[in-house]
């Protein structure tokens, strides 16, 4: 039996809102849609009203909002679905990345040689500066990095269809927010401005160097192009009181 060929994104048409992908020799077309407003606004406004520096760091690095579960599929597996947690970020447009990546990497270099705790506020300021101009954020995709090239990476190589399962809580009702966002994953190699941007975003709030198992850099970055979303929020039934 011949091995499956790596999937290839043939083109992305923003005007027609369409993605065409070659999956093992079969051309498949998917819709292209914007990130759901509730997720986008929650991420952009995640630091609103947060004063404490440690709480800001928790919101950006530890909270569930930007740590969705990513599900991928291997149809030959006994249990075909693989799930993993990954830190995702909003991304700048390709045009903005070409213009700003050297400036952003220069800002990151300025943190070297100082203790992480002494640079936290500057790191947060850099992140907020990146998110400041709404017109430069690409509303059609999320970004992440691949560290090890394990099951998630292997599955995406064969079949780029992935589901991002978001969950977070908020003060406003409904308090428990959940979304399933179905995407097509595009692999971006090291050296590309998008890869460099995602590497910077991944390292920005990490106080320790991760063990990359002998590799010098991340395997790749992912562009998760949004195809469809399903609201999975938990809402209380009318008249029901948990008390």
Q: Identify whether the C-beta of residue 21 lies closer than 8 Å to the C-beta of residue 160.
A: yes
Q: For the chain, give the percent of residues with pLDDT over 70.
A: 91
DSSP β-bridge partners for residue 98: none
**pLDDT attached to residue 114:** 92
**pLDDT attached to residue 170:** 83
Q: Give the model's confidence band at 208: pLDDT under 50 very low, under 70 low, under 90 confident, else very high.
A: low
Range of lowest pLDDT (69-73, 175-179, 228-232): 175-179
Q: Taking 70 as the threshold, does the pLDDT of residue 9 lie above it?
A: yes
**pLDDT attached to residue 236:** 56
Tell me how far apart the alpha carbons of residues 193 and 146 are, in angstroms, rounded to a whole number.
Answer: 16
Which string of b and e fits 61-85 if b means at least 16 CB within 10 Å? eeeebbbbebbbbbeeeeeeebeee
Tell me how far apart the alpha carbons of residues 206 and 130 are, in angstroms, rounded to a whole number.
Answer: 17
Q: Which pTM does this prediction carry?
A: 0.91
Task: Report residue 86 CA to chain centroid gap.
Answer: 7
Tell me how far apart the alpha carbons of residues 85 and 67 are, in angstroms, rounded to a whole number.
Answer: 6
User: What percent of the chain is helix, strand and coil (3-state, nearest 5)?
Assistant: 30, 30, 40
Give the helix ranges, DSSP H, for 48-192. Answer: 53-57, 94-109, 116-130, 151-158
* CA neighbor of 124 nearest in space, from 61, 62, 66, 65: 61
Q: For the chain, give the percent of residues with pLDDT over 90.
A: 79
Q: For CA atoms 219, 183, 236, 58, give the dihedral sign.
A: positive
* CA neighbor of 188 nearest in space, from 167, 211, 217, 210: 217
Residues 6+ apart with CB under 8 A from 186: 9, 160, 222, 223, 225
Q: Taking 90 as the threshold, does the pLDDT of residue 135 lie above it?
A: yes
Give mean pLDDT, residues 45-72: 94
């Amino acid at each position: 039996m011949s091995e499956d060929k790596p999937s290839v994104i043939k083109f992305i048409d923003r005007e027609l809102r369409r993605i065409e992908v070659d999956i093992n020799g079969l051309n498949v077309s998917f819709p292209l849609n914007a990130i759901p407003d509730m997720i986008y606004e929650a991420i952009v406004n995640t630091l609103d009203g947060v004063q404490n520096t440690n709480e800001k760091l928790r919101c950006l690095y530890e909270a569930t909002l930007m740590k969705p579960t990513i599900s991928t599929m291997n149809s030959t597996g006994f249990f075909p679905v693989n799930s993993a947690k990954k830190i995702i970020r909003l991304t700048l447009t390709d045009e903005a990345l070409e213009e700003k990546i050297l400036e952003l990497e220069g800002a990151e270099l300025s943190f070297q040689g100082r203790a992480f705790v002494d640079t936290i506020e500057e790191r947060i300021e850099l992140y907020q500066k990146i998110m400041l101009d709404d017109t430069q954020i690409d509303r059609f995709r999320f970004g992440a990095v691949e560290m090890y090239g394990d099951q998630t990476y292997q599955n995406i190589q064969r079949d780029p269809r992935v589901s991002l399962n978001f969950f977070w809580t908020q003060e406003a009702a409904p308090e428990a927010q959940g979304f399933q966002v179905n995407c097509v994953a595009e692999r971006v190699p090291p050296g590309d401005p998008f890869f460099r941007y995602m590497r910077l975003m991944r390292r920005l709030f990490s106080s320790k160097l991760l063990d990359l198992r002998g590799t010098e850099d991340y395997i790749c970055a992912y562009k998760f192009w949004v195809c469809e979303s399903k609201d999975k929020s938990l809402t209380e039934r009318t008249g029901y009181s948990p008390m």
